[in-house]
Chain A
Amino acid sequence: MKDLKQLKEQWAQQHFDKQYSKEELNGFLQKKSTYSIKWIFYLSIAEFLIYMALPLLSPNYYESFAYYKSLDLFGFNIFMRVMGYALLLYFMWRFFQNYRKITVTASVKEHLSTILSTRKAVSQYFYANVGLLLIFTLVVFIRSFQMDANLIGLEQENISFLMISFIIGLVVAIVLGIYGVLYYFVYGRFLKPLKRNEKELKQLNP
């Protein structure tokens, strides 16, 4: 191959074995897309609905309120729950913004930016949830040792504070682990194809 001009000419001359018929092309249009970002928004709606339905799904939901009240944490409990809803609503709004913006007809740069913004929002959502869960658990845990007669009783029965802390820490770690795995499977499935776009976006920026 001698030069670029010749390369261009040959490029224009290339043919492809595979030529789909109109029937085949028509069939493609009916197939399912692997479009990821819209699913992230739908998932957040599903999550919100499950969150809203929790009091109905769990018969003992309100019993925990009485326990928090006994620890003088009723207000804190309500505050954290409201924060949980606010967080979810805020991220739903962000997912919706991306959902609205995402379109394959945008320029490659705009498209890459929206995809990266979605990835960022999903990971921030995960960390914000974990943070909220940790703060809540920590506060309830400390207060329980100060005010819960059963726990104070355990201490008196020579079960060390360290041992109880370890067990509770382990339970929290397992809960967080399950949350992480669920998150990975549910959202990760849709995020996987969106990886590695950052490098490409950087390449487009002068």
Chain B
Amino acid sequence: MSTPNSETEFVALLDEHQNIIHKICRLYTNNEVEHEDLFQEISIQLWRSYGRFEGKSKFSTWMYRVGLNTAITLYRKEKKRLNTQPLNDQFTAIAQEEYNAQVDEQMAWLYQKIKDFSEIDKALVLLYLEDKRYDEIAETLGISAGNARVKMNRIKERLKKMLG
């Protein structure tokens, strides 16, 4: 499966798309330690199954599937809440010059709001906000496209209500 070449290639892809994993981690964990743990676990799972990635779908699409599976099913740390600081203090964006405080604030608010959503609903929110097509959502979750549409409409309604 893994050759030195494919490892370099894989790390480059991982680097390029690491924000996808960060989003999943932020959705499914409660603090920085858990965030890092889950990030590592997803990276390991991606690497282990990289040999089976046939390139039929985009690398990023394949990452959602592996990342969500890992977050929903394999990664089950007890909710210790080691650090009760709000998430926005830990993961906010300050990297760029055109740092957008408003985006940061709104995202912190959003993550906080969906913290109590079920694992599947969190996945649906992620796929919705990432603008995934119904067939991609259906494929990732393993449900029919019709069912994906129904679930997505429900999530949209829930988000709308949340936005007031």
Asked whether A206 is an interface residue with its Cβ less than 8 Å from the other chain, the reply is: yes
Tell me if B1 counts as interface (CB < 8 A to partner A).
no
Determine whether the beta carbon of B15 is less than 8 Å from that of A18.
no
Chain A residues contacting B160 (CB-CB under 8 Å) are: 3-4
- B134 in the interface, Cβ–Cβ < 8 Å? no
Distance A21 CA – B119 CA, assembled complex (angstroms)? 29
Tell me if B82 counts as interface (CB < 8 A to partner A).
Answer: no
Please state if A103 and B49 are interface contacts (CB–CB under 8 Å): yes
Kindly list chain B residues whose C-beta atoms are within 8 Å of the C-beta of A147: none
- Bound: A194/B129 CA distance, A: 27
Tell whether, in the assembled complex, residue A29 and residue B93 are in contact, meaning their CB atoms are under 8 Å apart.
Answer: no
- Tell me the B47-63 residues at the A interface (CB within 8 Å): 47-49, 52-53, 62
> Once bound together, how far apart are the Cα atoms of A11 and B127, in whole Å?
11
Question: Does residue A158 face the partner (Cβ distance < 8 Å to B)?
Answer: no
Is B65 a contact partner of A19 (Cβ separation < 8 A)? no
Give a binary string over A172-185; 1 marks a CB under 8 Å from any B CB, 0 the rest: 00000000000000
User: Considering the chains assembled together, what is the distance between the CA atoms of A18 and B102 in angstroms?
Assistant: 19
Q: Check B93 against A17 for contact (C-beta < 8 Å).
A: yes
Nearest Cβ on chain B to A67's Cβ, whole angstroms: 47
| Cβ B142 vs Cβ A34 within 8 A | no
- How many A-B pairs fall under 8 Å by CB? 165
State how many residues of chain B have any CB contact under 8 Å with chain A: 69
Question: Could you give, for residues 1-39 of chain B, a 1 whenever the CB lies within 8 Å of some chain A CB and a 0 otherwise?
Answer: 000000100111011001100110010000000010001
Knowing A1-B163, A2-B163, the reply to whether A10 touches B139 (Cβ < 8 A) is no
Instruction: For the complex formed, measure the closest distance between the CB of B22 and the CB atoms of chain A, giving whole angstroms.
Output: 4
Contact (Cβ within 8 A) A34 B69: no
Taking a contact as CB atoms under 8 Å apart, the answer to whether A33 and B76 are in contact is no
Query: What are the interface flags for A181-206 relative to B under an 8 Å C-beta threshold, 1 for contact and 0 otherwise?
Result: 00000000000111111011001101
- B residues in contact with A8, CB < 8 Å: 129, 131
Is the Cβ of B73 less than 8 Å from the Cβ of A197? Answer: yes
A16 touches B74 (CB 8 A): no
Residue of A nearest to B22 (CB): A16
Residue of A nearest to B109 (CB): A1
Smallest distance from the beta carbon of B38 to chain A beta carbons, Å?
Answer: 10
Q: Are A204 and B15 in contact (CB under 8 A)?
A: no
A36 at interface by CB-CB < 8 Å? yes
Q: B150 contacts A206, CB within 8 Å?
A: yes
Whether the Cβ atoms of B72 and A15 lie closer than 8 Å is no
**Are B74 and A34 neighbours in the complex by a CB distance under 8 Å?**
yes
Cβ contact within 8 Å between A110 and B44: no
0/1 per residue, A16-44, Cβ < 8 Å to B? 11111110011011010111100000000
**Of A4, A29, A206, the contact of B47 (CB 8 Å cutoff):** A29
Further contacts, 9 of them, CB under 8 A, given A10-B107, A112-B72: A4-B160, A17-B92, A19-B18, A22-B11, A25-B11, A29-B43, A105-B69, A110-B142, A193-B76
- Could you jot down 23 A-B contacts, CB within 8 Å? A3-B163, A4-B160, A7-B163, A13-B103, A14-B23, A14-B93, A15-B19, A15-B94, A16-B95, A18-B35, A26-B11, A29-B10, A29-B11, A29-B47, A105-B52, A107-B65, A108-B72, A108-B73, A109-B143, A194-B73, A197-B72, A200-B118, A206-B144
